[in-house]
Amino acid sequence: MPRVLTDTRQTLGTATTCVLVFLIVLRLASLAGYPLMDTTEGRYGEIARKMAERGDWITPWFTDSEPFWGKPPLAFWLTAASMRIFGVNEFAARLPHFLMAAAIVVLTFDWARRAGMRRPACVLPVLATTVLFWMVSGAVTTDMALCLGTALSMRGFWLALQGPAEHRRRETWIFFAGLWITLLAKGPVGCVLILLPVGVWSLWTRQARSVWRAVPWLRSGALLVAVAAPWYAFAEARTPGFLDYFFIGEHWNRFVVAGWQGDRYGSAHAFPRGTIWLFLAGAIFPWSIVVPLAAWRARQRKSTGLQVDGASDTQAQPSFMRYLLICGLAPCVVFTAAGNILWTYVLPGLPPLALATALWLGHRDDGFARRALLAGTLLATALFVGRLLDLTAGGRAETKSAEAVVQLYRAQLQPETPLAFVQERMFSAAFYSAGQALHIADPLRLAHERPHEPLFVATPRAVLAQLPQAVWPCLQVVGDAGSYRLFLRTPCTERSSAMASRASANQEGGAGEWKN
């Protein structure tokens, strides 16, 4: 091979590595760079904060009196433990999810190496720069814990059958460890995302009998139930009704009933059937653009008679490629008929899809694969830097969080005066106020909430016009923060009621200026 060509390829590889390292460091540094955003981060961050504060490791709590039955506790355990170590802050809340993402990347690389891929390192930039994976790696959700479990099981199953003989027993235990994690991260749906592709691949390749013999399904399955079931039993005993809501509501009605109204913790996310495939295309960006362009370029070179060294992906490891594609597309197949979905549902498919992409790119010796890896990594870096600038300097995160208005409230140095949020139930408000913030769901009730006491009131600027006229004379503007205006409401008197009557007769004066 000419020395110039070798040097060029080494330069491309070094450049890709440097950009990837920069991107990883940037993600780690950004964990504390912006506040927890509602609703997802605020909700799960507050649930974990309550868990750490109460020391209740069985029942996640949605509010002080309402249990959270929507998800098992694994992600909350990790986040709460981090808060116990590093304090209640954004870095502590997001760190476990970043570490799980890093573990998945390392685990996937090790899978590629043990599976005999020609260039296993190709999977590192592909997986780490996939837009959904990068975003969830620094977000407080339950999805990265599920992805860790599915990645462990998908890898363990393959290497239990195809890996070195001396390691197959260990990989079998890794397979069932992944199933245990999914049961405590998301529930039975996680097991479906593992067992469905395993079964399809076994039948497609006519290896069902070998799979049955290689994996101790009955013995290990019984052990799996034995170690996973206790939490479910304790949770039902602590808060009766959990099992019915979790298994029937969350695992059936949520996906089968479009616009399901039984959600105790919000509203269902109704989308047309099949939207999950569009979510996948967006989730794997920039590789949903780079890989098709690379394939088109490779076809063009072949049609013009240019020599392309190396075997194709299907010629190299056809069975492995089939397995990866089945695992990667399993979430889309499972949720195609679902009406209530989020784009994070495709996350468990990203590690095997990244491996499939790396397998295809790694068997090309024409240098174009390296250029494609560098181009995709640079494109992703530009996207992520822009996203972080938008969240921080652009203030987008601040508008989706109550952190700024809580800080403004604390700056008044009146801790004896409570803080109340009007209309919106912001979980970030509970998180940043250590659960002390009050909630006034109906703006008309503002005048009647502790009427004889001073009260700080945080109101979204978009709903200022909905405040009752009678309360305006009692409000003193403190300032604006994020999407909120903070008031100090003094005790309302008969005199203020009379002033309110005169103000309502003249809409251009008095309280009218606060409605703009």
Instruction: Compute the distance between CA of residue 125 and CA of residue 122 in angstroms, rounded to an integer.
Output: 6
Residue 30: count of CB within 10 angstroms of its CB: 20
Counting as low any pLDDT under 70, the low residues of the chain are 1-9, 11-12, 255-263, 266-270, 301-316, 339, 364-367, 492-516
Instruction: Compute the distance between CA of residue 189 and CA of residue 258 in angstroms, rounded to an integer.
Output: 18
- Model pLDDT, residue 318: 85
- Model pLDDT, residue 441: 86
- Model pLDDT, residue 256: 66
Q: Alpha helices, DSSP H only, in 87-142?
A: 90-114, 123-128, 131-136
Contact assessment for residue 193 and residue 315, using Cβ atoms and an 8 Å cutoff: no
pTM of the predicted structure, to 2 decimals? 0.88
Contact assessment for residue 231 and residue 72, using Cβ atoms and an 8 Å cutoff: yes
Instruction: Compute the distance between CA of residue 251 and CA of residue 70 in angstroms, rounded to an integer.
Output: 10
Domain ranges of the chain: 7-231+274-391, 399-515
Give the torsion sign (CA, 271, 349, 142, 227): positive
- By DSSP bridging, strand 438-440 and strand 419-422 are parallel
The Cα-based distances of 202 to 4, 328, 349, 502 in angstroms read 46, 16, 18, 79
Judge residue 223's burial from the number of C-beta atoms within 10 Å of its C-beta, 0-12 exposed, 13-18 middle, 19 or more buried.
middle
Which tokens is 424 given?
Answer: 């919106």
267-304 tens-digit pLDDT: 656 678 888 999 999 999 999 988 888 777 777 766 55
User: How many Å is the maximal CA-CA distance in the chain?
Assistant: 92
Contact assessment for residue 145 and residue 391, using Cβ atoms and an 8 Å cutoff: no
- Model pLDDT, residue 513: 33
- By DSSP bridging, strand 484-489 and strand 455-460 are antiparallel
Contact assessment for residue 168 and residue 159, using Cβ atoms and an 8 Å cutoff: yes
Instruction: Compute the distance between CA of residue 422 and CA of residue 301 in angstroms, rounded to an integer.
Output: 63
- Model pLDDT, residue 514: 30
